[in-house]
Amino acid sequence: MANKKWPETWQEFNLGGMVFSPGNASEYHTGSWRDQRPVLDTSKCIKCGLCYIFCPEGCISQDADGYFVSDLDYCKGCGICAHECWPGAITMVEEG
Amino acid sequence: MTKRVGMEIAFAAAEAVALCKPDVVAAYPITPNTHIPEHLSDIVADGRIDAEFICVESEHSALSACCGASATGARAFTATSSQGLLFMGEVMPIVSAMRLPVVMAIGNRALSGPINIWNDHSDIMSQRDMGWISIFASNGQEVVDMVIQAFKIAEHREVLLPLNVNLDGFQLTHVVEPILFPDQEEVDRFLPEYEPYATLHPDKVLSMGTLGMPEIFNEAMKAKDVALINSKRVIMEVWEEWEKLFGRKYEPIQGYKTEGADVLLLTMGSMDETAEVAIDELRERKVSAGLLRLKLWRPFPIEELRNAVKSIKVLAVMDRAVSCGGAAGPVCAEIKAALYGEPNPPAIVNYVIGLGGRDVTVDDFITIAEKAAQAEKEKPKEAYEIYGVRGS
Amino acid sequence: MLEIRWHGRGGQGAVTSVEMLAQAAIGEGKYAQGFPSFGPERKGAPVAAFNRVDDKQIKVRSHIYNPDVVVVLDASLVSLVNVTEGLKEDGILVVNTTKSPEELRKETNFKGTIATVDAKRIAWDELGVPITNTTMLGALIKVGKIVELDSVRDPLEHRFGRIAQKNIAALKRAYEEVRVN
Amino acid sequence: MSSIVENFDLYAPRLVDKEEYFSPGHRACQGCGEALGIRLMCKALGKDTVIINATGCMEVISSLYPTTAWRLPWIHVAFPNSASVGSGVEAGLKVLRRKGRIPDRDVKAVSIGGDGGTVDIGIQALSGAMERRHDMLYVCYDNEAYMNTGIQRSGATPFGASTTTEPAGSASYGKKAWKKNVPEIMVAHNLPYVAIACPSYPLDFMNKVKKARKIKGPSYIHCLSVCPTGWRLPPNLTIKAGRLAVETGVFPLYEVEDGKYRITIKMPEKLRPIEDYLKIQGRFRHLGADEIKMIQDRVNQEYKKLMSKVEYLPSWSDLQGE
| CATH number where A56 lies | 3.30.70.20
Amino acid identity for residue C99 in this structure: K
Task: Check D92 against B205: CB less than 8 A apart.
Answer: no
Task: Check A13 against B220: CB less than 8 A apart.
Answer: yes
> Would you call A19 an interface residue with chain D, using a CB distance cutoff of 8 Å?
yes
Chains D and A touch (3+ CB pairs under 8 A): yes
DSSP state for residue B90 in the 8-state scheme? T
Torsion angle, alpha carbons of C134, C26, B13, B275, to 10: -110
pLDDT band at D321 (very low <50, low <70, confident <90, very high): confident
Task: Check C33 against B171: CB less than 8 A apart.
Answer: no
State whether CATH 3.20.20.150 applies to domain B3-246: no
Number of domains chain A is built from? 1
| Residue D2 pLDDT > 60 | no
CB pairs under 8 A between B and D: 171
Distance from CA of A11 to the nearest CA of D (A): 14
pLDDT band at C101 (very low <50, low <70, confident <90, very high): very high
Task: Check B206 against A18: CB less than 8 A apart.
Answer: yes
* Chain D residues close to B59, C-beta within 8 Å: none
Answer whether residue A53 is part of any domain.
yes
> Would you call A40 an interface residue with chain D, using a CB distance cutoff of 8 Å?
no
D:12-31 residues touching chain A, CB 8 A cutoff: 13-14, 16, 18, 20, 22-28, 30-31
Distance from CA of D315 to the nearest CA of A (A): 33
pLDDT of C143: 96
Q: What is the residue range of A43's domain?
A: 30-94
pLDDT digits (tens, 9 = 90+) for D3-40: 454 445 667 777 889 999 999 999 999 999 999 999 99
Which member of C27, C31, C62 has the closest CB to residue B359? C62
Chains C and D touch (3+ CB pairs under 8 A): no
State phi, psi for A55 to the nearest 5 degrees. -75, 115
Answer whether residue A23 is part of any domain.
no
pLDDT band at A75 (very low <50, low <70, confident <90, very high): very high
Which member of A9, A13, A19 has the closest CB to residue B206? A19
d(CA B212, CA B97) in angstroms, rounded, equals: 11
> Would you call A53 an interface residue with chain D, using a CB distance cutoff of 8 Å?
yes
Chains B and A touch (3+ CB pairs under 8 A): yes
- The candidate with the shortest Cα–Cα distance to B81, out of B138, B42, B121, is B121
> Would you call A3 an interface residue with chain B, using a CB distance cutoff of 8 Å?
no
pLDDT band at D322 (very low <50, low <70, confident <90, very high): low
B253-386: what fold? Rossmann fold (3.40.50)
With H, G, I as helix, E, B as strand and everything else as coil, classify residue A68: strand
Chain centroid to CA D243: how far?
Answer: 14
Which among B219, B222, B224 is the top mutation candidate for probing chain A, defined by the most A β-carbons within 10 Å of its own β-carbon?
Answer: B219
Task: Check D64 against B211: CB less than 8 A apart.
Answer: yes
Task: Check A25 against D13: CB less than 8 A apart.
Answer: no
Question: For B57, which residue in chain D has the nearest alpha carbon?
Answer: D128
* Chain D residues close to A73, C-beta within 8 Å: 24
State the burial class of residue B185 (Cβ atoms within 10 Å of its Cβ: 0-12, 13-18, 19+). Answer: exposed
Question: For C37, which residue in chain B has the nearest alpha carbon?
Answer: B170
For residue D144, the domain's CATH number is: 3.40.50.970
**How many other C-beta atoms can be found within 10 angstroms of the C-beta atom of residue B38?**
16
- The candidate with the shortest Cα–Cα distance to C2, out of C64, C48, C61, is C64
Pairing relation of β-strands D168-169 and D108-114? unpaired
Q: Please list, in sequence order, all residues whose beta carbon lies within 8 angstroms of the beta carbon of residue C91, skipping any fewer than 6 positions away.
A: C67, C68, C69, C70, C112, C113
Task: Check A10 against B226: CB less than 8 A apart.
Answer: yes
Task: Check B176 against C23: CB less than 8 A apart.
Answer: yes
Answer whether residue A75 is part of any domain.
yes
Q: What is the pLDDT along chain B (392 residues), one digit of tens a residue?
A: 789 999 999 999 999 999 999 999 999 999 999 999 999 999 999 999 999 999 999 999 999 999 999 999 999 999 999 999 999 999 999 999 999 999 999 999 999 999 999 999 999 999 999 999 999 999 999 999 999 999 999 999 999 999 999 999 999 999 999 999 999 999 999 999 999 999 999 999 999 999 999 999 999 999 999 999 999 999 999 999 999 999 999 999 999 999 999 999 999 999 999 999 999 999 999 999 999 999 999 999 999 999 999 999 999 999 999 999 999 999 999 999 999 999 999 999 999 999 999 999 999 999 999 999 998 888 888 899 999 999 97
> Would you call A35 an interface residue with chain D, using a CB distance cutoff of 8 Å?
no
Distance from CA of A39 to the nearest CA of B (A): 35
Task: Check B223 against A20: CB less than 8 A apart.
Answer: no
ipTM reported for the complex surpasses 0.90 = yes
Which member of A25, A46, A53 has the closest CB to residue D69? A25
* Chain B residues close to A12, C-beta within 8 Å: 219
pLDDT digits (tens, 9 = 90+) for B90-135: 999 999 999 999 999 999 999 999 999 999 999 999 999 999 999 9
Which among D68, D76, D204 is the top mutation candidate for probing chain A, defined by the most A β-carbons within 10 Å of its own β-carbon?
Answer: D68
Which among A5, A9, A19 is the top mutation candidate for probing chain B, defined by the most B β-carbons within 10 Å of its own β-carbon?
Answer: A19
State the burial class of residue D292 (Cβ atoms within 10 Å of its Cβ: 0-12, 13-18, 19+). Answer: middle
| Residue A2 pLDDT > 70 | no
What is the full DSSP assignment across B260-281?
A: T-SEEEEE-TTHHHHHHHHHHH
A:18-57 residues touching chain B, CB 8 A cutoff: 18-20, 22
Number of domains chain C is built from? 1
Which among A4, A9, A12, A14 is the top mutation candidate for probing chain B, defined by the most B β-carbons within 10 Å of its own β-carbon?
Answer: A14
B:190-209 residues touching chain A, CB 8 A cutoff: 197-198, 205-209
Number of domains chain D is built from? 1
Answer whether residue A9 is part of any domain.
no
pLDDT band at C39 (very low <50, low <70, confident <90, very high): confident
* Chain C residues close to B271, C-beta within 8 Å: 61
Instruction: Supply the angle between the helices C133-144 and C119-127 in degrees, to the nearest 10.
Output: 130
Distance from CA of A5 to the nearest CA of B (A): 10
pLDDT of D5: 46
Instruction: Supply the angle between the helices D123-131 and B59-71 in degrees, to the nearest 10.
Output: 70
Q: What is the residue range of D227's domain?
A: 2-319
pLDDT of B379: 85
D:130-169 residues touching chain B, CB 8 A cutoff: 131-132
Q: Please list, in sequence order, all residues whose beta carbon lies within 8 angstroms of the beta carbon of residue D190, skipping any fewer than 6 positions away.
A: D259, D316
* Contact present, D151 and D163 (Cβ < 8 Å): yes
What are the helix (H) ranges across chain A? Answer: 50-54, 80-84
What are the helix (H) ranges across B213-270? Answer: 214-246
Answer whether residue A59 is part of any domain.
yes
**Considering the entire predicted model, what is its pTM?**
0.96
* Chain B residues close to A13, C-beta within 8 Å: 216, 219-220, 222-223
Task: Check D236 against A92: CB less than 8 A apart.
Answer: yes
Task: Check B175 against C34: CB less than 8 A apart.
Answer: yes
B:261-300 residues touching chain C, CB 8 A cutoff: 270-271, 273-274, 276-277
Q: What is the residue range of C87's domain?
A: 2-180
Answer whether residue A84 is part of any domain.
yes
* Chain D residues close to B219, C-beta within 8 Å: none
What is the full DSSP assignment across D67-78?
A: ---BSS-EEE--
Task: Check A25 against D18: CB less than 8 A apart.
Answer: no
Which member of B160, B210, B215 has the closest CB to residue A15? B160
Question: For A28, which residue in chain D has the nearest alpha carbon?
Answer: D25
Task: Check A20 against B206: CB less than 8 A apart.
Answer: yes
Answer whether residue A68 is part of any domain.
yes
